[in-house]
Amino acid sequence: MSVTLADIKRGEKAIITDVSSIHIPLKLLEMGCLPGNSVELVQVAPFADPMYLNINGSHLAIRKETAIHILIEISNG
């Protein structure tokens, strides 16, 4: 099973490998959520949702339901 952004743990860094562009708003792509870019989980809200991420230097928060459409590869633990 492939790893999605919803599985990332706090402090972990990862590289985005693929995004399902149909499910992801263009705005998120434009904010740097693109294959090859780095992503790090900064903080999770209570109940583990939404997720506060650092994607390619941009700090943003997205919901878990969006994060499952972004495939990643964990690069360090």
Partner 1 sequence: MGKQINVALIGNPNTGKTSVFNALTGLNQKVGNYPGITVEKKEGICKLPRGVKAHILDLPGTYSLNASSLDESVVIELLLNKNDKDFPDVAVVVCDVENLKRNLLLYTQIKDLQIPTILAINMADRMTYKGISLDIDILEKELNTKIAIISTKKNQGIHELKTLIADYKKLPVTPCLNISVIDPDYFKSLEDTFPKQLLYKLWLVISQDANFGEIERQEFDALKDFKTKSKADLKRLQQKETIKRYQFINNVLKKGQLIDLSKAKDLRIKLDRILTHKVWGYVIFIAILLLIFQAIYDWSGVPMDFIDNTFASLSEWANNVLPSGPFTSLLAEGVIPGIGGVVIFIPQIAFLFFFIALLEESGYMSRVVFLMDKIMRPFGLSGKSVVPLISGTACAIPAVMATRNIESWKERLITILVTPFTTCSARLPVYLILIALVIPQGRIFGFSYQALTLLLLYLIGFGAALGAAFVLHKTLNIRSKSFFVVEMPNYKTPLFKNVAITVIEKTKAFVFGAGKIILAISVVLWFLASYGPGENFNNAETIVSQQVASQNLSEDELNQQIASFKLENSYIGIAGHAIEPAISPLGYDWKIGIAVLTSFAAREVFVGTLATIYSVGSDDEDTIKNRMAKEVHTVTKAPVFNLASGISLMLFYAFAMQCMSTLAIVKRETNGWKWPMFQLISMSILAYVVALAAYQFLK
Paired residues of 16 in beta bridges: 72
Q: Does 50 bind partner 1 (CB under 8 A)?
A: yes
Answer for which of 3, 15, 34, 68 binds partner 1 (CB under 8 A) is 34
Burial (CB count <10 Å: 0-12, 13-18, 19+), residue 33? buried
Answer for which of 9, 29, 73, 75 binds partner 1 (CB under 8 A) is 29
- 3-state DSSP helix/strand/coil % of the chain, to nearest 5: 20, 40, 40
Residues making contact with partner 1 (CB under 8 A): 19, 21-22, 25-32, 34-35, 37, 42-43, 45-47, 49-50, 52, 56-63, 65-66
